[in-house]
Amino acid sequence: MKIAVCIKQVVTREWHVRINESKTWVRDQDASWELNEPDAYALEEGLRLKEKHGGEVIVVSAGPARVTQVLREALARGADRGIHVEGDWLANADGFGTASALASAIKAEGVDLVMTGLQSDDQGFAQVGVVLAEKLDMAHSTIIMEVHVDGGNLRVKRELEGGWFQWVAMPLPAVITIQSGINQLRYATLKGIMAAKKKEIKVVAAPPQAPKQKIVSVYVPTKSKQTKIVPGAPAEAAKELVRLLRDEARVI
């Protein structure tokens, strides 16, 4: 079974975010980077499927030269080889541009299954997996909590709203987006880190594409405090308090 896992490099959660001069994205010159957490769960699920059914896991990442870091980390965890879809414009590309770049590299591999994390920790639009499926002309399903492969068919468990789940059957090849928490993550061992240095990372150039959407402005939310006194008898004040919490504060 040939599995492609798409991974993204994002700024670490501990990094103090600094906005760039144009106020359209964060400053990444002095940022620290890590593997996008939802993609880590997709990678783990791909590795487990390989261990069960055989084959190989290919990790694919689109971005500037620095994304080699997360590709090496994925190889150290057990992936067989990597593909770096390189282009500086991919550092802040929209979902359509990223999916197009990934699709151009994955098409040539003839994979049986493509896996991505549900969304990225930075933008969180959850678009890349769905657009990628359309670009590859594959069946797809999202928010996956369980994966079963039976020959040329796939059976997956989707998470719905309100604590409900849905089982979906589809043919391979297919694209699925993995929900965080589907499994227990493994971490790279010293042996894996040493082995990753010898594994192949193929570099594929990605020509720039005109974005379908763009970020107009990024800003840090301002903190504010406001105190409101609810007068009246206890019963009436309680009703008004509930209304304010529901309609204005929107916390209930």
* 21-74 pLDDT, tens digit each: 888 888 877 788 999 999 999 999 999 999 999 999 999 999 999 999 999 999
Quote the number of domains for the chain: 2
142 and 52 in one domain? yes
Rounded Cα–Cα distance for residues 206 and 84 (Å):
10
**213 assigned to some structural domain:** no
234 and 138 in one domain? no
180 and 228 in one domain? no
- Indicate the pTM of the whole model: 0.85
228 and 196 in one domain? no
174 and 119 in one domain? yes
184 and 229 in one domain? no
**216 assigned to some structural domain:** no
9 DSSP β-pair partners? 35
For residue 78, how many other CB atoms are within 10 A of its CB?
A: 21
Per-residue pLDDT of 108-117, as tens digits, reads: 999 999 999 9
236 and 170 in one domain? no
Domain extent, residue 180, equals: 2-205
**215 assigned to some structural domain:** no
Q: 242 pLDDT band (50/70/90 cuts)?
A: very high
57 and 139 in one domain? yes
31 Cβ contact partners less than 8 Å away, ≥ 6 residues apart: 11, 12, 15, 18
**138 assigned to some structural domain:** yes
Rounded Cα–Cα distance for residues 156 and 166 (Å):
8
Torsion angle of the four alpha carbons 234, 240, 246, 250, in this order, in degrees rounded to the nearest 10: -100
172 and 241 in one domain? no
Per-residue pLDDT of 169-204, as tens digits, reads: 999 999 999 999 999 999 899 999 999 999 999 999
**212 assigned to some structural domain:** no
Q: Give the SS3 label for residue 17.
A: coil
227 and 165 in one domain? no
242 and 168 in one domain? no
Minimal CA–CA distance to 201: which of 71, 104, 76?
A: 71
Minimal CA–CA distance to 26: which of 128, 125, 124, 123?
A: 123
| Burial class of residue 29 in the structure, from the number of CB atoms within 10 Å of its CB (0-12 exposed, 13-18 middle, 19+ buried) | exposed
Q: Is the dihedral of CA 184, 142, 114, 174 positive or negative?
A: positive
Higher pLDDT, 137 or 227: 137
100 and 6 in one domain? yes
